[in-house]
Structure 1
């Protein structure tokens, strides 16, 4: 669930050169990604508010809104993973081999969050089927387990995310980084606690109850969603701040991977320079002038005009 908050220079969200148009497109997609996360958190807040309602229709629609929010979050995290892989030209072996933190954070965290979001979305789908088609023991059992497994993966990714270490990044950016990561970590913890409390409450009942999602679960998830919303707003602020910095003061790939990646890109992109280099190789080499002799200036040059127009001594 938790969106990756990274302060790396190679966080941009597309392939392409460093031109102004490409840079603007990457910045626009990054803002869309951060804004979509905020929108998904709003859907979660509204969904859990509806789920806590006493009206059955509102409760079902609230659960559907929360599922829609999880679907948007799934797309956001998938975009995070694809963006970081695309920014290194999918040279994952080069980046991960030279910088282990890139593999353990920038790639592993979105992947773990995708898995957790899928499990939680499947759990809500099971409970939606329960409300629509009636009680099914298998769906109840799997749904309750998934409500614990999904947030557990979120918490794992949140802990992994907060363990990022930047040595050369700007101090102001790192403060914003921690301000984003802390509410996301607390929100994941509340979702996990809510799932465990709900699982324990259902299994501790001596008789069957149709109330599969308790009010305590809804309150925990609502509080966690509010923390996710706060983290999303702070992440949007951090994105704007980093775009204003234009790459200055951000962390580069370690182990020389950033320089190697830049050299590989320069070797692939400049086709015009390669054509010019081929023409220069085909042209005859220039002869060095003999010692003591100054080669005459080319015809029509500024020096020739000055010399020819000077009065004879």
Structure 2
């Protein structure tokens, strides 16, 4: 999960009341998704592990929805003008790339669980899905780790201690939880190598326990995110302004103010065109040749 749309000082998608409500719903939905995810992994230790797969699919589906909302919210802040990302590195590498990577990781994890569920339901004839399932269970958390690391690499223009602590309190649990998911998937793949297990037997106890602890960390990060959103909305706290001029450039365009760099480039281009026109309109110079008497 990436930070919510309130990470920037200015957000221009929808009215303020609707925007705040959307952030509350988004934050609460993620906490609920982590609870469902935790229940799914705990169910793997019960006598009905198949029901746990259904809970895992539900939880991962909700996480996909949350990350897609973050992606749409970030793009709405610049009116979906992708060309503005060229003027704002952090918008491209953090606010656009991170939710995209997180969404892809959640989809891969979802597919891995879905493959195991199909194989468990259909039985013989679907064993070829098992290899794909184990691979996607590794690829999904790997993308989560990548997104979490990338999301933590932000540069702010100013530093406020309280706000930065809240922000890091969201980043760290997500990063540690993603690492536990990845380590669990890798260890489980090594444990299953050379064994003839099928279906739910492919999910070893090590994987289940590491995923339980990872889900708990996701839950802690989600709760911290709720606290962060609440304080930002109720106490008028805002995260420090990220470096980058995509939104500022968009505001100038809306107000009819051309940024100085673009204005200077336009002035130079105009002068160059006028100089070319003047040269083309001037008569072709020539030199008289005087021939003296022989």
| Structure-1-length-normalised TM-score | 0.76
Unaligned runs of 5+ in 2: 257-294
Higher Rg: 1
Say yes or no: does 1:3 pair with 2:27. Answer: no
Partner of 2:108 in structure 1?
119
Partner of 1:239 in structure 2?
229
**Aligned match of 2:202 in 200, 212, 223?**
212
1:198–1:216 Cα contact (<8 Å) kept = yes
Say yes or no: does 1:188 pair with 2:181. Answer: no
Q: Distance in 2 between matches of 1:85 and 1:258?
A: 11
Structure 1 residue 253, shift from structure 2 partner: 5.1
1:136-151 matches, cutoff 5 A: 136-151=126-141
1:65-76 matches, cutoff 5 A: 65-76=55-66
CA RMSD of superposed structures (Å)? 2.1
Structure 1 residue 7, shift from structure 2 partner: 6.0
Partner of 2:122 in structure 1?
133
2:152–2:171 Cα contact (<8 Å) kept = yes
Q: Distance in 2 between matches of 1:263 and 1:38?
A: 38
Partner of 1:292 in structure 2?
none
Cα deviation 1:75-108 (Å, max 9, x = unaligned) = 11011000100011112322x2222011100000
> CA 1:202–1:51 in 2, change beyond 3 Å: closer, same or farther?
same
Please say which of residues 141-150 and 239-248 is displaced more in the overlay: 239-248
Partner of 1:63 in structure 2?
53
Say yes or no: does 1:154 pair with 2:182. Answer: no
1:1-313 matches, cutoff 5 A: 2-4=1-3, 8-10=7-9, 12=11, 15-16=13-14, 22-53=15-46, 55=47, 58-94=48-84, 96-135=85-124, 136-205=126-195, 207-208=196-197, 211-246=201-236, 250-252=240-242, 254-255=244-245, 257-266=246-255
SS in 1 for 2:132: helix
Structure 1 residue 215, shift from structure 2 partner: 1.3
Cα deviation 1:30-87 (Å, max 9, x = unaligned) = 111111100100100111111121x1xx211111101100000001101100010001
Cα deviation 1:87-146 (Å, max 9, x = unaligned) = 11112322x222201110000000001111111101100111111111432110100111
Cα deviation 1:228-263 (Å, max 9, x = unaligned) = 0000000111111222354656315524x3332223
2:115–2:129 Cα contact (<8 Å) kept = yes
Q: Distance in 2 between matches of 1:97 and 1:247?
A: 29
1:168–1:249 Cα contact (<8 Å) kept = no
Query: Structure 1 stretches (4+) deviating beyond 4 angstroms?
Result: 207-210
SS in 1 for 2:13: coil
Aligned residues: 255
Unaligned runs of 5+ in 1: 17-21, 268-313
| Structure-2-length-normalised TM-score | 0.81
Q: Distance in 2 between matches of 1:265 and 1:120?
A: 42
